[in-house]
Amino acid sequence: MSSLIHQTRWRHVANPRRTTDTLIGERQRAVLNPQALHMAQTEIRRWPGYAPTPLVGLDGLAKACGVAVIDYKDEAERFSLKSFKALGGAYAVLRLIKRRLGEAVTSDALMRGEYRTALEGLTVCCATDGNHGRSVAWGASQFGVRCVIYLHATVSEGREQAIADFGAEIRRVPGNYDDSVRQAAEDAAEYGWCVVSDTSYPGYMDVPRDVMQGYSVMVDEAVAQMRQPPTHCFVQGGVGGLAAATLAQLWEAYGAERPRLVVVEPERAACLLASAEAGRPVAVEGELDTLMAGLACGEVSLLAWEVLDEGVDDYVAVSDEAAVEVMQLLAAGVAGDSPLVAGESAVAGLAGLLIAQQDPELGARLGLTAESRVLLIGSEGATDDDVYRELVGSSADEVRSGRFRAREVGHVS
Ligand SMILES: Cc1ncc(COP(=O)(O)O)c(C=O)c1O
């Protein structure tokens, strides 16, 4: 088999706490369940521009890396927000409004402006490194509530502009992501605003639960689109919300036949892998210095952990360099596959698969064979055009129209 990527460094932890129960249990269903999925679908399917995102069969890549199927759920165009996060934050804003004004309030009525007066005093806010804040700001603009978004020092100007375009007030905070979280919480307490966070912590569970429930809509779409059940799913991990929603929905759909779930993180921000090793949620200290901005998380979401703890099969950590190579590989398209625009936080899962296919030890640990059918969640497109061009060497438009110009593989500036 030829080498598809060169940077094949990995760390792997097989989850020692994985349950032998074949069916999803009460512990996981207390977080994510079919009733809550149905509620989320009923609302989200009515939002303007809703359509299931494509599930792209990467036959050329599957052949090149020696598995039977690779299905790539491509979130690059979700509600024109360019990531799966469009489903979470915006849905949590809606749920918050419903908790205030009553369950009878619908997205449609809010978008028609029927509750404008009742919502006058409500402000939602959050800290973000980009995608979640864009979703919250978009939801707030759709439903007619005021929104304040906190950005730490290194969030790119492109991402700031995309959020500001939805009418949100932007507050820049010196320091890192955690500093912006603290500032948002302090201001919310002082002014009586509502924090819409995608991560949970003691005493703060309802909103992040809604966020994850929104993500489940995407996984349910993928289940309906797949021709055959997958044997493996590789999904990237930040605080764990995406992985938890993916796992719970696949477990609901396939029961005992559920795929092996592999969570893949940046090696410099692998808090889920570290927690699996420790047997409980632990924080990763340090700079969390990864270019996979959406995955630069040092602390696990406790609610996500309720699902992941006994459900995940494997945790893998990969390098930033591998992620960049995978972005370029998708942009080029392998052996007849269509070119795909995937942002830097979208590709860790595929990086994990490709590394495992080039390193027999990891491949064996993950139980990959020539018969494996792999589901990948391509969780974002070019959420910052400048960053994308810098990493890939061509713009997203050039890639989409097949004009990607390959350059030195693995280049990271
Ligand atoms: C594109 C993308 N993929 C994956 C993730 C990880 O999601 P989570 O933090 O819920 O694990 C994020 C988080 O921001 C993201 O933006």
Q: How many A from CA of 401 to the centre of ligand 1?
A: 27
Alpha carbon separation from 182 to 129, 157, 240 (Å, rounded): 14, 21, 20
Choosing from 73, 234, 379 the residue with most ligand 1 atoms within 8 A of its CB, the one to mutate for a pocket test is 379
d(CA 62, CA 76): 21
Cα–Cα distance, 255 to 239 (Å, whole number): 25
Taking the CA of residue 212 as reference, the ligand 1 atom at the shortest distance is: 10
Per-residue pLDDT of the chain (413 residues; tens, 9 = 90+): 568 999 999 999 999 999 988 999 999 999 999 999 999 999 999 999 999 999 999 999 999 999 999 999 999 999 989 999 999 999 999 999 999 999 999 999 999 999 999 999 999 999 998 899 999 999 999 999 999 999 988 888 989 999 999 999 999 999 878 789 889 999 999 999 999 999 998 999 999 999 999 999 999 999 999 999 999 999 999 999 999 999 999 999 999 999 999 999 999 999 999 999 999 999 998 778 899 999 998 899 999 999 999 999 999 999 999 999 999 999 999 989 999 999 999 999 999 999 999 999 999 999 999 999 999 999 999 999 999 999 999 999 999 998 887 655 444 43
What is the amino acid identity at position 315? Answer: Y
DSSP annotation of 261 reads: E
Orientation of helix 88-101 relative to helix 206-225, angle to 10°: 130
Q: How far, in Å, from the CA of 376 to the mean position of ligand 1?
A: 14
Task: Look at residue 411 in the predicted model and tell me its pLDDT.
Answer: 44
What does the pLDDT read at residue 405? 76
Catalytic residues: 85, 129
Q: Whose CA is nearest to atom 12 of ligand 1?
A: 294
Q: Domains (ranges, CATH) in the chain?
A: 11-83+213-400 (3.40.50.1100), 85-206 (3.40.50.1100)
The protein residue whose alpha carbon is closest to atom 8 in ligand 1 is 238
CA of 336 to the centre of ligand 1 (A): 29
The Å distance, Cα 224 to ligand 1 centre, comes to 22
Q: Which of 295, 186, 289 is nearest to 236 (CA)?
A: 295
Atom in ligand 1 nearest the alpha carbon of residue 380: 1
- Number of Cβ atoms within 10 Å of the Cβ of 3: 10
- CA dihedral (14, 17, 23, 26) in degrees, to 10, reads -140
CA distance 393 to 264: 25
DSSP string, 349-381: HHHHHHHHHH-HHHHHHTT--TT-EEEEEE-BS
Element (H, E) at 117: none
Report whether 339 contacts 32 (CB < 8 A).
no
User: Alpha-carbon distance 87 to 70, whole Å?
Assistant: 24
* Ligand 1 pocket list (CB less than 6 A): 83, 85, 131-132, 198, 236-243, 294-295, 297, 345-346, 379-380
Strand partners, 377: 73
Instruction: State which of 136, 301, 345 you would mutate to test the pocket of ligand 1, scoring each by most atoms of that ligand within 8 A of its C-beta.
Output: 345
pLDDT of residue 407: 59
**CA 258 – CA 256 distance, rounded (Å):** 6
Q: Whose CA is nearest to atom 6 of ligand 1?
A: 238
CA of 362 to the centre of ligand 1 (A): 24
Burial letters 48-58, b for 16+ CB under 10 A, else e: eeeeebbbbbb
Calculate how far, in angstroms, residue 112's C-alpha sits from the geometric centre of ligand 1: 31
User: Ligand 1 atom closest to Cα of 241?
Assistant: 10
CA atoms within 13 A on the CB side of 405: 5
Q: Phi, psi (5° rounding) for residue 285?
A: -85, 175
